[in-house]
Structures are given as C-alpha cells and as structure tokens.
Amino acid sequence: MHDDCAYAVKLIHRPPVYLFLIPSVQSSIFKKLFLLNTLFRIQSSIKHWLDKVDEHSIHSPFFYDFYLRIIRGETKSHFTDIEKLRTQLLQNNSIIKLKDLGDTSAYFKSEDRSISKIAHTSLTDAKYCELFYRIAENIEAENIVELGTSMGITSLYLAQLKKSRVTTFEGNPDLINIAKTNFELFGKKNIEIIEGNIDQTLSDYLQNPAKIDFALMDANHRYEPTVRYFNWIAKRMSDTGIIVIDDIYRSPEMAKAWNELRKHDLVYSSVDLFTCGILFFDLSLTKQHFIWSY
Ligand SMILES: C[S@@+](CC[C@H](N)C(=O)[O-])C[C@H]1O[C@@H](n2cnc3c(N)ncnc32)[C@H](O)[C@@H]1O
C-alpha cells in the first residue's frame, strides 16, 4: 500500500491522541458515548424489570426478612438537615474545577462546573442514601469505607449511625474543601476524608488491618478500577460485611464488572437493584442472586 494510504487507514482505525484535544471531536465522542450508554441503560432496565421478583419468590428466611425490613422498610431516623444541605448545594451556582481522575476519559484533564450541576448529576438520591443507612444499620456497621465523597452527602448519612467511623475517599481538591466544610457544619468527628487519587490512597489505607463492615463503591465507574478496588477491599471485609456498588448499569463495562463481582469467590449472595448492587460476605449464606426493584 502507498505510504499515504497506509497512514490514512491507520488514522481511521486509531485516531491520534491530539484529535481528542479538539473540542468538536471531544464533544462528538462524548455525545456518541452518552447515547450508547443511554441505550444500554434502557435495554438493561427493561431486562431488569422482566427478571425482578418480590417477596413471594424468596425462600431464604434471611433474604425474606432483608427484603421486607430493609428494602421495603422505612428509615426511622430523620435526615432533614442533610437534605436541607443538599437543597443549598442544588441552588449554589459557584463554579469549581473538576480534575479528571480516570473516571471519565484520559483526554479530559479538568473541567469547570457549577456546584449545582454536580449536586444534580453526581449525588446519590435521598431514597438510596436512606437505603445505604438501613443496610449498614442492620449489620451494626462500625468501620465504614466510602469510595467517592463528592460533597459528603452519603458520608453524612452513614456517619449518623451510632457507632460508625466513616473513612471516605476523594481526589478532587475543590470537592474535598466543600465536603470538609459540610462535615464541620454537622460537627461530625467520625468522618475522615482521605485525599488523593484512590489508585494510590486506597492501597495505603488498607495497610491498616482493621476489618471493614460496610463499603460503598461510588467513585471510578470503569471496569478495571472497579474490579481492582473491589479485590483490595474484599480481603478486608468482616464476616457479616457488605459492599454496595453504585451505578452497576451505567455502562456495559460497569455491568461486566458487576456480573463478575457478584460471582466472586468471597461473595456469598448478591442483590441487584438496578441502580446499585449489594454483595454479602456472610459465610453462613448459601450462594444466591436476587433481582429486586427498589
Ligand atoms: C458519584 S460521586 C460520589 C457521590 C457521593 N457518594 C454522594 O452521593 O454523596 C463520585 C466521586 O468520586 C470521585 N472520584 C472518582 N474517581 C476517583 C479517584 N480515582 N480517586 C479519588 N476520587 C475519585 C469524583 O471526584 C467524585 O466526586
């Protein structure tokens, strides 16, 4: 093949890195990815809806009770002040800088975004924050690990548990400052924020041999880091420990991670709620997988 032709073919199959720096190329790649992931989510939600069961199909006494009390149950504590804070964040138009930590694309290094937009797009809904609280409360979780603090809303929910110590990881300096202010505002001494990229900070933290009772993985929603972080944390889970993975159908790669992790040797049962997945490390459970709505 003529050199020029060979180069043109190479360009089509493997576009050079600098092309991704052109804003119009970035935006068209983002739009296509967004569209593909949206189509994937629609298809997955239909499948989830067709496959889901309710309490009438649960034979295990443990999961029957878990379904009725935790999934269908109500949270007795009140989180009005945390929700007031969320409302303030939703109305805050100040701009902060977001650093790319590998959860979007290697080609997008930083981005200016309003606090209100972040609050709209990346904070866990109150309904799920309450569910995480109930799950952690049910196992009387003390040592709690959260990957992905953002502005600290889920950390604040989990820190309301009586004996909890929440260690939360965040790599964006502007979000860390906001989260720290929020923790001070609530006078929360049982939350420690670990600053920096989880790729480095999590392995350092896990040098500490303390067992983890409850972990929430809501940071880097890519296949490889999800599996890698899970494998690190799984070895530290307590006997009745639970890991919740958020956004399991956000993209085909997250669904792939979820489908592998729920079959992991250390996982004894799993619950797929579509928005998140719950993994149980309790040895006394027989291996089961449930698809429920929430
Ligand atoms: C979906 S948000 C977390 C939301 C939070 N759990 C809540 O609902 O209140 C994910 C956060 O993880 C952080 N993050 C993603 N990848 C990271 C990494 N590799 N290291 C540190 N932080 C990371 C992002 O900066 C972002 O703030």
Question: Tens digits of per-residue pLDDT, 55-106?
Answer: 999 999 999 999 999 999 988 778 999 999 999 999 999 999 998 787 754 4
Question: Tens digits of per-residue pLDDT, 112-144?
Answer: 899 999 999 999 999 999 999 999 999 999 999
- 66: Cβ contacts below 8 Å, ≥ 6 apart: 138, 271
Residue 28 has pLDDT above 90, yes or no: no
- 108: Cβ contacts below 8 Å, ≥ 6 apart: 26, 100
Distance 28 CA to ligand 1 centre (A): 25
CA distance 100 to 172: 8
In ligand 1, the atom with minimum distance to the C-alpha of 175 is: 27
- Phi, psi of 11, rounded to the nearest 5 degrees: -65, -40
Residue 17 has pLDDT above 70, yes or no: no
Enumerate the domain spans of the chain: 3-50, 53-78+123-291
| CB 154 near ligand 1, within 6 Å | yes
Helical pair 223-234 and 252-261, crossing angle rounded to 10 deg: 20
pLDDT at 41 (0 to 100): 93
CB-based burial of residue 213 (10 Å sphere; 0-12 exposed, 13-18 middle, 19+ buried)? buried
Residue 201 has pLDDT above 60, yes or no: yes
| CB 259 near ligand 1, within 6 Å | no
Percent of the chain whose predicted confidence (pLDDT) is above 70: 87
User: Closest by alpha carbon to 283, among 266, 259, 258, 271?
Assistant: 266
**What's the length of the chain?**
294
| CB 175 near ligand 1, within 6 Å | yes
Task: Quickly state the pLDDT bin for 14 (edges 50, 70, 90).
Answer: very low
Nearest CA to ligand 1 atom 1: 122
In ligand 1, the atom with minimum distance to the C-alpha of 153 is: 9
CATH architecture entry for 53-78+123-291? 3-Layer(aba) Sandwich (3.40)
